[in-house]
Amino acid sequence: MEISYRIFVVSVLLLFLVSGSFSIDNFHQPFPIVEPDPGHTKLRLSREGLEAINRINTPIAAVAVIGPYRSGKSFLLNQLLSLSCQEGFGVGHMRDTKTKGIWVWGTPVEMDIDGVRTSVFYLDTEGFESVGKSSVYDDRIFALATVMSSVLIYNLPETVREADISRLSFAVELAEEFYGRFAFSSIC
């Protein structure tokens, strides 16, 4: 896994946009980074999740899980973190989605990546195609998760559909555009 400095850049930009004093006492829980407005049309930054990321002094990498609603994204992340559903990311049992926006597990997993001590964060995202949301909202969540993550897991509960291929194609285009701009700005 390659260390992604873009998550660091995005985090710094997000922290710059969100100011104020806010304090979290217990980081061993999930926090929202990006939350929807009441109408699920716009996204806003959340200080809680950004504070969890801001306290890290090592390089940061992020693993994000995306996919349709009710497909087991939160459950998968809990398994990756060796957490139960009661102590980890919230897992819903009803038709309504449990995760709204993008959430981060507050305690990163420390590991060596290419000989560098790295803090790996796990990101849980609101599922696609849930009731009462537009496809534009889904695309925003998808694009943010793609840009913020070092590793993107597309969790599917069934066979791959044409819409899934389109989303993955969009992720590749987004990454190429982002890396092209990032590489160009690094050269200049």
Q: How far apart are CA 154 and CA 148, in angstroms?
A: 14
Q: How far apart are CA 143 and CA 125, in angstroms?
A: 11
Cα dihedral 109, 112, 118, 123 sign: negative
Report helix, strand or coil for 35: strand
Cα dihedral 42, 105, 3, 64 sign: negative
Residues in CB range of 96: below 8 A, 6 or more apart: 130, 131
In degrees and rounded to multiples of 5, residue 144 shows phi and psi of -60, -45
156: DSSP letter: -
pLDDT score of 20: 38
* Beta strands at 43-45 and 60-66: parallel, antiparallel or unpaired: unpaired
pLDDT score of 115: 94
115: DSSP letter: T
Whether the model pTM is above 0.75: no
Asked if 67 and 127 touch (Cβ cutoff 8 Å), the reply is yes
pLDDT score of 64: 93
pLDDT score of 120: 92
Which domains can be identified in the chain, with CATH numbers? 27-158 (3.40.50.300)
Over its length of 188 residues, how does the chain's per-residue pLDDT go in tens digits? 444 445 544 444 444 344 333 445 566 788 888 998 887 778 888 887 787 788 888 999 999 998 887 778 888 888 888 887 777 777 766 555 667 888 888 788 899 999 999 999 899 888 777 766 666 777 888 888 888 888 988 888 777 788 778 877 877 787 777 666 655 555 54
pLDDT score of 99: 76
Map tokens 């660091």 to a residue: 8
How many other CB atoms are there within 10 angstroms of residue 139's CB atom? 13
